[in-house]
Amino acid sequence: MPETRSWQVKVGGWGRSAARAVAGAGKGTAEFVADEWFFARQWWRKMPRERKRTWQLAAGSAVSGLAVAAGAIAVSGPWDAGQRTAERTLAAAADNSNGGHHDAEGRAVPHAPPVLAALGSPVSGRGAAPVPTAAGLADALAPLLKAPELGPLRSASVVDVATGREVFGVKQGTPATPASTVKLATAVAALSLLGPDHRIDTTVVAAGAKRIVLVGGGDPTLTARPVRTGFGDQPASLRTLADDTARALKRRKTTTIALGYDTSAYTGPALHPIGRNENLAPVTALMADEGRLDRSDHGTAPRAGDPAAAAARTFAGLLHQRGITVSGAPKSARAPKNADRLAVARSLPLGALVERMLTNSDNDIAEALARQTALAAGRPVSFAGGGDAVRAALAARHLPLAGTAFKDGSGLNRDDKVSAGLLSHLLLDASSPANPTLRPVVTGLPVAAFTGTLSGRYAHTAGAGAVRAKTGTLTGVNTLAGTVVDADGRLLVFAFMTSGTTDPAGAQKALDSLATSVANCGCR
């Protein structure tokens, strides 16, 4: 035990030193972290295998600190004291949320630094982690795939990021219902076509001397609530849009107007095939706070039957507070072509929307991003058009699409079909240093035992902090896909899928055990 304590202190020192180096962001930071990480890996590699499981828990937080340092260097801005601001905000503010049938209980998130595995680890040379073998991973994972809690269909794919080689697979090409893990496909498609800096505009235009039109562009995060201070970048504000509109009208000597609202950016039915559901508002180009009728900002909630009309009524009230009289009730309208723009509210960058979608499994953002992808691809801006656009964008990346079907962007539709191999290769693309535009897919993944839909899972396991993964849950369907650093420091991506389950909690634990086993494995 004295030896145990001394090594805890030493490894903890490595983690703290690396974290301080990144926080300082001074000259030589990357070299310093690489050296510290090298010595930590060397010590870990020399440890007898039977002791690794014990040490995984004892030194987990320290090694996670090193992963934060190395990962932060790899991740592109924006920066704040050496940490990506979106990642910091999500770790500090996000809590458990739901997509499909996720647990909707609100849980406080520990005040701890985010965990970000180092991406693009070297294949050879000093500090290179050994590659796990197919036989080693099969020894660790095959017995767990036989867990009785899993359904009749059980598929898996584990890929080594540095080489791009699949090191473990079981029915990895078999299409299955992905539930919310289909959001990984939505995210990669949207980022591929639009880029992480794209923003969605909500505008107000003049439609004559005494009439204006509120034009929705499809930003589901537009908010009518007061701006919260101290929470990093804020979503587009309907209040700020009302401020700017009122000023523009008063400059024109206009204080009484009629208000229309335009949702023509989207086509097709607004209601998801599952019908009215607290997981998702009717999908429309104009909404405020995702059409929520309570004060929640994620998870299930009662929703407005017509989010666009509700947002327009709220906007009319905000104009009234600013000295502009709105005559009559707001009405659905089409904005004139080439109309004068009076004001605009721009969404957060697409990269931030992707992060929020994945961390909180936000169905409203997912459906909006599928439609933004359709807009960019020149396809019908509907459920069907969004699915076609997502598939085409992934085909352009030469991803394995045999048997796939994209019927929505969120995964609430059981007719969605993807394979474990596709999910793992989506994550492989996003983890590659050659694809910086896809980086929000990785930074948005929930961190085991810390953030989002994984905040209540993996406590006191080797997976805590080491696993980052997107969850997927529908009745009889459980999926998990993400990234993990194994016991030797090798970065892997994985996807585990099962269908036909009858014990949701048991199936979830079985999938978590698979990911934890990879984290605890030096499988060689």
Annotated catalytic residues are 180, 183, 361
Token readout for 99 is 């997509």
Token readout for 432 is 């590659």
Place of tokens 């197919």: 134
The full 3-state SS of 76-134, as one line of letters, equals CCCEECCEEHHHHHHHHHCCCCCCCCCCCCCCCCCCCCCCCCCCCCCCCCCCCCCCCCH
From the list 242, 247, 252, the residue with the least C-alpha distance to 316 is: 242
Assess contact for 241 and 315: CB atoms under 8 A. yes
Token readout for 404 is 């796939």
> What is the DSSP code (8-state) at residue 434?
T
Which amino acid does the sequence have at 396? A
Which amino acid does the sequence have at 22? V
Which amino acid does the sequence have at 89? T
> Count of H helices and E strands in the chain?
15, 13
Measure the CA–CA gap between 100 and 119, rounded to whole angstroms. Answer: 30
From the list 234, 156, 125, 179, the residue with the least C-alpha distance to 513 is: 156
Which amino acid does the sequence have at 72? A
Assess contact for 408 and 283: CB atoms under 8 A. no
Assess contact for 482 and 445: CB atoms under 8 A. yes
- The string of DSSP codes covering 190-246 is HHHHH-TT---EEEEEE-STTEEEEE--S-TT-B-SPPPTTSSS---BHHHHHHHHH
Token readout for 437 is 């535009």
